[in-house]
Each structure stands twice: as structure tokens, then as C-alpha cells.
Chain A
């Protein structure tokens, strides 16, 4: 493996991206005192009784700006979405409902919650990972969607 292969390795990319996500989550809790949980930030926008909308909008605007900032230096990595429209609609509903009931998703429970040492977040993460593994097994290897 030469150095360029090493830099382009998916493992290094994963680790580098993960460290950056960690820095973002660290900045948010240390400066704003908040959990960088995307489902919670989105969900809070939909609750009429919550007055704190501006920071949520700005956080999401920052996220939405990321692909454009990335494109300053290089092309966006390829994205392949295999799921069809119906599958995406059902999956979206399940993700919206599930993360709301569970008060968190991959970021809020999986990263921030585990970093905090929360038993609830560890249990939530194990549960959604297991459900993900089983769902992919069923759809890919048994039903063949």
C-alpha cells in the first residue's frame, strides 16, 4: 500500500470524518451546553410550543451548507440510493417515528449518549444497530429487495 492508497483508504476517511463529527459534538456541548442530536434538533422545529427555533434552523443550515463547502476542494463522493420510492417513504416514516419515541438517533444516542456514558443511549444504540443488521439480512438475503 503506498501513501496515497493509505490516505484514500475508507478506514482513514471513516476515522477522519468521525473525529470531525466528534469535534463538532464537543464544541456544541462545551459552548452551547447542548447535545448534537439531529433527530432532536429537527423534531424541536415541529413542536409549536418550543420557542427556541433559531439555533435549530442555523444548525441545519450549517449542515446543508456542508456539501457546498466540501465541493470547494473536491467532488462530492458518489451516493447510491438503492431503495425505491415506496421503500424510502416507509423507511422515512419509521425513522421519524422511531427516533422521536426513542428521543434520539445515531448522533444523539450513538455518539453523544455513548460519549456521556448513558446506559439508555448504549441500549438504544445496540437496539437500532441490531434492528439494522436484521433488516438488511432480511431484505438482502431472504426477500431480495
Chain B
């Protein structure tokens, strides 16, 4: 049941990304281009998602287990640190350079965009590199 729901959620998430316009990198860059012909429509994507999300997370935070009985795995980390902020900075630079963040890149790659394959392969290499750095640090 949990696995089936993971598939359904992935499908709905992907459809939401396509409908919203997030899978078009030139549109994402148009949203990030404050000094150009700024396209604010993507702010509505985040707004719509957070509107629903806030209700769900308000319920989820009060529970120890999900409605299907799975443990509630919400991050317990608090406080700001350099990993969070520098990591986000580096992510934002890559996002601005390409117009891709992870979700839309996966959907575009699946839709058969060769340039999205290049991006996703490189992103996975970056994640693997992180795992190597972490292992070496231990």
C-alpha cells in the first residue's frame, strides 16, 4: 500500500510539475530574471502547493504515525548551519544556470529531452560525489 501510494504520489507530483510550467527551464529562468521580462506565474505554483501543504503538515505534525501506520519521518533538525546555507547557495547557482531543479529535470528526462538526460546524469554524479565526501569524512 505504501509502495503503491509512492507511485501515485510521484505521478501526481509529476503531472503538477508539467501543468504548472515548471518543466520548461526557459520559463523557470524567466521567473528568476527579475531584471528582464519577469514572469511571476511560478510564484503561484509554490503558493498553491504550500496552501494545501500547510493543512496537511499541520495534521501530520501532531501524529506519531501516518494514516497507514508508517512512522512519521519529519526532520528534527533545528538551527541554521553552513551546510544548509552553502548547500542552498550552490544549488541556487546551478538552478539559475540551467533552469532545472531535481523534480522537473527527472520529468523532462523521462519525456525524452536529451539535454535533461545530461543534466540528470550530472546531478546524480554530484549526489554520488557527496556520498563519497561524506564517507571519507567518517
Q: Tell me the A residues contacting B by CB distance below 8 Å.
A: 10-11, 13-36, 38-39, 42-43, 46-47, 54-56, 58-70, 76-83, 85, 87-103, 105-107, 109-120, 123-125, 127-137, 139-141
Q: In the complex the two chains form, what is the Cα distance from A47 to B80 in whole Å? A: 25
- Residue on B with the closest CB to A23? B52
Given known pairs A91-B97, A131-B92, the reply for A17 and B130 (CB within 8 Å) is: no
Q: Which residues of B are at the interface with A, using a C-beta cutoff of 8 A?
A: 2-26, 29, 32-36, 39, 41-57, 59-61, 65-68, 70-75, 77-80, 83-103, 105-111, 113, 115-116, 118-131
Closest approach, in angstroms, between the C-beta of B110 and any C-beta of chain A? 4
With a cutoff of 8 Å between Cβ atoms, the chain A residues found around residue B46 in the complex are 18, 110-111, 114
Instruction: Considering the complex, give the chain B residue whose CB is closest to the CB of A131.
Output: B92
Q: Are B6 and A120 in contact (CB under 8 A)?
A: no
Q: Count CB-based A-B contacts (< 8 Å).
A: 473
Known contacts A38-B102, A82-B99: A13-B41 contact under CB 8 Å:
yes
Cross-chain contact A24 with B131 (CB below 8 angstroms):
no
Which residues on A sit within 8 Å (CB–CB) of B44?
11, 14-15, 18
> Which of B2, B54, B92, B110 has the most chain A CB atoms closer than 10 A to its own CB?
B92
When distances are taken between beta carbons in the complex, the residues of chain A under 8 Å from B54 are: 115, 117
Q: Is the CB of B21 within 8 A of A28?
A: no
Q: Do residues A102 and B91 form an inter-chain contact, with CB atoms below 8 A? A: yes
Some 21 contacts from A to B, beta carbons below 8 A apart, are: A18-B51, A21-B45, A32-B5, A35-B74, A39-B102, A58-B7, A63-B11, A64-B10, A69-B11, A76-B111, A79-B113, A81-B25, A88-B115, A92-B100, A97-B129, A102-B84, A114-B53, A131-B91, A135-B32, A135-B97, A139-B96
